[in-house]
Structure formats: C-alpha cells, structure tokens
Structure 1
Amino acid sequence: MDDYRNNRVPGRTFFFTVRLLDQHSALLTEHIAAFGEAIRQARLRKPFHVDAWVVLPDHAHAIWTLPPGDDDCAGRWNAVKIAFTKALRKAASRAPTGDAIWARHFQQHAVDGGADYAALVDYIHANPLRHGFCARAEHWPWSSIHRFLAEGRVK
C-alpha cells in the first residue's frame, strides 16, 4: 500500500495535465533539461511545491501545491510554456514544430483530499505504463516516483 500521509500540503493543491499540440511529438522528453529549467524558473518567480509529476514525450501530469491564498495556476503554466518554447527556439533557431507547440489550454483539477490525492499520485506514477513506455513505473526516468521510493512513500 502506498503511504502519502506525510506529504507537505500547506496551500491549495491542484492536479494538471499539459499537452503539446503535436500528439506524436517527443519534445518534452527530448528536451527534458529545458522543461525542468522552465519549471525551476517559474518556481523562482512564483513559488509552488511540486508534489508529484511525470513527463511523457507529448504531455505531462503534475500535482502542485500553491502558497495559501494564491490560485494563479494559469500564470505559472504560462511562464513554464513560454520558457520552454524560448529554450527550444534558442537551441534550434525556431520551435521545431512551428510557432505554437503547446495545446492552448491545460486541464486542472482541485484535489479534494487524502483519497483523491493518493489516487492522483498513483495515476501520475502509472501513466508511463498505461502508454506502454515501460513495464514498471520505476523504470520511467522522468517521474517523481523515484523521490517517493527514496522517501519510503511507495512500496
């Protein structure tokens, strides 16, 4: 049984899915360092805690906890998308798939509590398996499951 009781949740917590326009693209995993740097930059400007995440070739899922009283999810994702796109353009003199690489909107779900939170973390960590990218969740390199295993929160 997975144990998520010790997770830090000081503010409102949200589950997200962000997608690239091209569903056959692998830009996120091909440029994982740039995506990670985009998240880091966004967190420096407007802090948030990354509770769980997984990055697949054409989309990513995450659970973020924002500071109390702050609900600007859109601003944070916009900053991530802009920084990642700029990094791609800088590396290749333009975005590899044209001007727009991101799906316009992202999916957002306010996490209701312990059971909802646990189910969403499990969904995130199992996502690479559902897409056939690996046989075991811990084999996927771009996932918070490694942190959860190291902390003893997943067995």
Structure 2
Amino acid sequence: PDHLHCIWTLPEGDADYSSRWRDVKKYASQEFLLPPGSQHAWQRGFWEHVIRDENDWQRHMDYIHYNPVKHGWAQSPREWQWSSFHQCVKKGWYEPDWGAQDIPDVADMDWE
C-alpha cells in the first residue's frame, strides 16, 4: 500500500536510483485512487543496497517475498497476488508453501 521492494540490475556505470524511483512512483501513482484528504501515496525516500553474493541475493529475495506477511496483508507469500513469488515458485526457487508455516530468518533486515 505505501512501498515496494525490488531487485534491479542497472546498466554498467549507471547508479541513478533516484530518477528511476521517481519515474516508478510517478507512473504508478497515475493509477491510484487515493482516499479523500490523502496527499501522499508513497513512503518517503528509498534505500539501495548492492547485492554482494548469492547468499545476500537469497536473503533479499526472502525478505521481499515475506514482506506482505510481515505487514499483515497476507497470511503467506503465495497469497500476495502482486508478488514475484509466484514466478519464483514456477522456476523452482521456492516451494509453494514457503513462508506459510515457518517465519523466514529476515528479522534483522528491517529497511522500512
């Protein structure tokens, strides 16, 4: 509802996160129907992190996919229809019931 997480591969020598996030928020906001009196659809700011290795990538993927459960928007990652989790299950990267029973070890990755 007020933020999203993603993993990007930017072109070599390009680290212009600010312009990209501005464009994403601008484009997506055109589709929003804000409640009366609301002025802001998005959480302010952003955080970037350079993925160091495969373990770091996996921890970030887990965090992203578990985030809707953490915030109470879904009971399990598979219930969040807007998630890339479904594509990752098709690729065999996750079991369909991942995160439904056991809480993944993502507690120390609180960026919000």
Q: Report the alpha carbon displacement of residue 148 of structure 1 after superposing the two structures with TM.
A: 0.3
The answer to whether 1:113 aligns with 2:53 is yes
Deviations 1:75-117 (A, max 9, x none): 11111122233x148x78xx9623x433441111111111111
2:65 match: 125
- Report sequence identity in percent: 37
1:132/1:102 Cα in 2 relative to 1: closer, same or farther (>3 Å)?
Answer: closer
1:97 match: 38
**Matches of 1:96 and 1:147, distance apart in 2:** 37
Amino acid at match of 1:72: D
1:104/1:149 Cα in 2 relative to 1: closer, same or farther (>3 Å)?
Answer: same
Amino acid at match of 1:77: W
**Matches of 1:96 and 1:152, distance apart in 2:** 44
Higher relative contact order at CA 8 Å, sep ≥6: structure 1 or structure 2? 1
Question: Which of 50, 62, 85 is the equivalent residue of 1:145?
Answer: 85
Structure 1 or 2: larger strand share? 1
1:4 match: none
1:147/1:69 Cα in 2 relative to 1: closer, same or farther (>3 Å)?
Answer: same
Q: Pairwise mapping of residues 4-153 of structure 1 onto structure 2 (< 5 A)?
A: 57-85=1-29, 87-88=30-31, 97-98=38-39, 100-153=40-93
Amino acid at match of 2:62: D
Q: What stretches of structure 1 move > 4 A for 4+ residues in a row?
A: none
1:96/1:151 Cα in 2 relative to 1: closer, same or farther (>3 Å)?
Answer: farther
**Equivalent position SS for 2:21:** helix
1:96/1:70 Cα in 2 relative to 1: closer, same or farther (>3 Å)?
Answer: farther
**Matches of 1:102 and 1:58, distance apart in 2:** 5
Retained in 1: the 8 A contact 2:2–2:41?
no
| Length-normalised TM-score, structure 1 | 0.53
Alignment gaps of 5+ in structure 1: 1-56
1:141/1:129 Cα in 2 relative to 1: closer, same or farther (>3 Å)?
Answer: same
Q: Report the alpha carbon displacement of residue 147 of structure 1 after superposing the two structures with TM.
A: 0.5
Retained in 2: the 8 A contact 1:88–1:96?
no
* RMSD of aligned Cα (Å): 2.2
Amino acid at match of 1:66: L
